[in-house]
Structure 1
């Protein structure tokens, strides 16, 4: 197909269809691209060189498609406000958004079932779902739009459609689809290198992108036939889950008690490999799932020595290395084939050939109870961010940024007291029975055991320094009495 214009017959077929509902699956463990990605800052939130995150690119790409009237996102409850912030920067026209919030991960089939059941109720059984991973990169949006239009025609005929990427190399990190035109012959697991080379040479195989296009009534019918336990568990869960609607947004917070009965299974295993109504759209859309530091590094142009640098690095006799260090200077001498990633609280040094093994480090951190697997030094909250500047025996210093018109919960700490110093902006502070304004260069003291709240009443960010002191400074030493964000 020509990248610029849809064929007339395809244009006519798409215009005759109903609503297209993009469903963005946003989550991840934050293991493969550690230390930049973490459990509470997974790959979709990573910024690329142009300043946009993968999640923002996914939203903008989906919102630009014809027939889209809103976007539905399935994500973890803890990532809701971070996701909303990301969308706000690329949604100037206020396209309505809806959210299905999972208490914990249960793979992609339960997420799809929840989306289909929600869409049946709120959009209609004849709507078409375009299921997209939030952490994929697509560099040819016009080709993607054409592939989506083709997929919608196939979906309208009752097919569950997947997007097959024409392979450019014998990749062993992807699943494959053997296809004859639009007909899927079989799905193949990630092959060894020799078999992947045979697949590439045959011309019959496509990379399995993990993106899907299917009508709501089709996917519900197929779930009932091939994965009834998934459908039944999510039907019960949605029935027990509260829904909140307003200001162009809707959200459903899945009840944890019933959600735990949902089987942990992927869309491929639950449906695509079992159904007889599966089609594929072969396409060349500039797709990558950026599944390792090697894949991410290849987005940049190499210098004459094969090195790629994001940030500042000084090199002597260095070849075929990738360095990401946006905040500090990194020096390399006499090395090759290394990945070096520097963040404020962690550094990764890896052989390029072992880029897929980075997850072993996060597994060790998690086993040891180290917070670096879960959080950055800068931590995002619904009201803004805090950054740990320094900590030691019985003290911790934080930089706190509160967004305009946002407030922290009314809370109390058992084991620590806090000094707050306003750097810029004006804070409204509740300190016990008192309510006061604290302006730039002013401070206040919060004793342990006292109810308190911090609020930014202004139109600019409130920036503060917080000095904590006490016998225990853990983030779990908090009792919330009132909270606008539904936290307990």
Structure 2
């Protein structure tokens, strides 16, 4: 990876949308990552449905908020999204209905999900070709809730400073609960010492008590060229396949949005691997910015339910539900009335084509259930890309 890489398009005292002052920086293109299956939010997140389209308490969706958040940092008046081709129509709908007026947009459509490493590599190729290798990419997962924007702006500004010197900047937040569903970063000041993914409960409790550990927010800030160089060094196979996919991609404009369809025959050869595992854990050019803003990764029913206050019995209820003698439960009904009686500490989810009943605190079992559905007799009801071939 090239060291000392500086943004050649930096402009002195250029005003940045979303920032409270004037900053010297390169062009910034937000990249929204919205291709995950969301297995632990099954059955709401499944098939051609994604967790990023879940409603938030204000009646909007995670994707709507992600688009509006990204637009505040789009110095080039442009947003890029990377999503599964099954979600592209709804991504376009959300962009057209969002407050990101006056912005351009492109959507890279993956024919099969391959995790965040191929998604970011594909995005880096697009940004480098359209805006230049020195353009800074602000990679933002779509399945997050952030409420304290001044702290977010400050963290992004610090991350851009690091990106301008050829580094890959991550945004970390001090853990407030021993959450075993999150990734953690062990840090000394801004130096990254270790990545820990989904630790056991005892380790997570120790991380909360330690001042050395941060939650890994999944937000990445770096120049497109630096990211491409990092893939060339640490994951050349992913770079090779995504470059080939990009060259063979088909592009079409719909409602003023460029839709880039990657070819299945090429893209399916990508390893299914996260950016953390493929690149970050091997890189020596990392910095982690200690941030201070409200943040929540919406990856489980526990985290999604927490967006709504519990009733007097500790229940989080969405949709039409009738409860009798039910406590500390999560009830989510989309199309029918759900009745629950005499139970506690359960999750009950109804979507019209599937029903989930599980005990609370077993998010990984919900993931296992999702995988079992894909392998089992109901696989014919899922899109082909979700069906495992034995």
The two structures have a TM-score, normalised by structure 2, of 0.87
Segments ≥4 residues shifted beyond 6 Å: none
What secondary structure, in the 3-state scheme, does the structure 2 residue paired with 1:169 have?
coil
Name the counterpart of 1:298: 306
Name the counterpart of 1:370: 378
What secondary structure, in the 3-state scheme, does the structure 2 residue paired with 1:273 have?
helix
Q: How many residue pairs align between the two structures?
A: 366
Deviations 1:109-157 (A, max 9, x none): 1111111111111011111001111212222233222211111111111
For residues 377 and 140 of structure 2, the distance between their equivalents in structure 1, rounded to whole angstroms, comes to: 33
Matched, 1:107 2:105: no
Q: CA deviation at 1:71?
A: 0.5
Greater fraction strand: 1
Greater fraction helix: 2
For residues 25 and 200 of structure 1, the distance between their equivalents in structure 2, rounded to whole angstroms, comes to: 27
Contact 1:222 / 1:275 at 8 angstroms: preserved in 2? yes
For residues 380 and 348 of structure 2, the distance between their equivalents in structure 1, rounded to whole angstroms, comes to: 17
Instruction: Pick which of 240-249 and 250-259 moved more.
Output: 240-249
For residues 136 and 357 of structure 2, the distance between their equivalents in structure 1, rounded to whole angstroms, comes to: 44
> Alignment partner for residue 31 of structure 2, among 23, 27, 39?
23
Name the counterpart of 2:12: none
Q: CA deviation at 1:160?
A: 0.3
Q: Unaligned 5+ residue runs, structure 1?
A: 1-5, 376-488
1:425-436 aligned within 5 A? none
Name the counterpart of 1:184: 192
Name the counterpart of 1:72: 80
- Higher RCO by CA contacts (8 Å cutoff, separation 6 or greater): 2
Contact 1:30 / 1:41 at 8 angstroms: preserved in 2? no
> Alignment partner for residue 351 of structure 2, among 343, 348, 355?
343
What secondary structure, in the 3-state scheme, does the structure 1 residue paired with 2:246 have?
helix
> Alignment partner for residue 204 of structure 2, among 196, 209, 212?
196
Q: CA deviation at 1:272?
A: 0.8
Q: CA deviation at 1:175?
A: 1.9
Q: CA deviation at 1:40?
A: 0.6
Check 1:349–1:315 CA distance in 2 against 1; reply closer, same or farther (3 A cut): same
RMSD: 2.3
The two structures have a TM-score, normalised by structure 1, of 0.70
Q: Unaligned 5+ residue runs, structure 2?
A: 1-14, 384-390
1:70-469 aligned within 5 A? 70-91=78-99, 93-245=101-253, 248-370=256-378, 374=382
Q: CA deviation at 1:167?
A: 0.2
1:24-39 aligned within 5 A? 24-39=32-47
For residues 357 and 305 of structure 1, the distance between their equivalents in structure 2, rounded to whole angstroms, comes to: 25
